Amino acid sequence: MKNLLLIGDSIRMGYDKSIKKTLEGKANVYFPAENCRFAAYLLRYIHGYKKLVEEGEVDVIHWNAGLWDCLRLFEEEPHTPIDVYAYYIDRLCQRIKKVFPEAKVIFATSTSVQSEKMDKDFKRYNEEIEEYNKVAVEVVKKYGFEVNDLYRVSTALPEEAHSDQVHYYTSMGTKAFAEQVLSYVVPALGITDEITYKEELYTDKPIGI
């Protein structure tokens, strides 16, 4: 079977188990137990995630980074200035090509938040998320990577799909993101069999974001 590697922040953590359960017997699905945090952190550690794959090479990578980067703590500037974010996304693209030269690569945009419900000392704005997404998409497309617009999916979801102001650890949210990711990774993996969605909700408390 082919190998799928899912990399990203706690949004990824919300759907990764459902992807693994759904593709059981169709593909090997791997993902780190940790939250992959911001772009600079991911650049530092992404090569180590290759060790998660038990046998063979990584055939498909689906990854994201951005929500940590545009976070504003204590009403200060975003954690990662947008030009620096673009720099790290570019370096990540280079690193992915170097470490996973044969992999089909899919980049996922960062999802929307309920900004009006967030504390002023821990704040994200959808307008800025959109700006960071735009910059990232421009960079990854230069490297021929496919783009999965999870932001678009998130904006179409009702309020009850949220489990908090940032996450979607509900049955509705999990299914929406998992099915969207499956629509990209299944053809990339060359799976032609019919796929039946199988859910496994993420019930742990989110670790940072």
Domain locations along the chain: 2-188
> Can you name the residues that pair with 62 across neighbouring β-strands?
6, 106
pLDDT (tens digit per residue) in 58-109: 999 999 999 999 999 999 999 999 999 999 999 999 999 999 999 999 999 9
Q: What is the CA radius of gyration of the chain?
A: 16
- Mean pLDDT rounded to a whole number for the chain: 97
- DSSP element (H, E) containing 72: strand 72-73
The one-character DSSP state at 78 is: B
Looking at residue 208, what is its pLDDT?
64
Looking at residue 204, what is its pLDDT?
85
CATH topology of domain 2-188: Rossmann fold (3.40.50)
For the four alpha carbons of 118, 119, 124 and 127, in that order, the dihedral sign comes to positive
* pLDDT greater than 80 at residue 209: no
Question: Distance between CA atoms of 102 and 96, rounded to whole angstroms?
Answer: 10
Looking at residue 206, what is its pLDDT?
76
Of the pLDDT bands very low, low, confident and very high (cuts 50, 70, 90), residue 205 is confident
Residue reference for tokens 């099915």: 179
CB atoms closer than 10 angstroms to residue 197 = 13
- DSSP element (H, E) containing 28: strand 27-30
Global pTM value: 0.97
* pLDDT greater than 80 at residue 156: yes
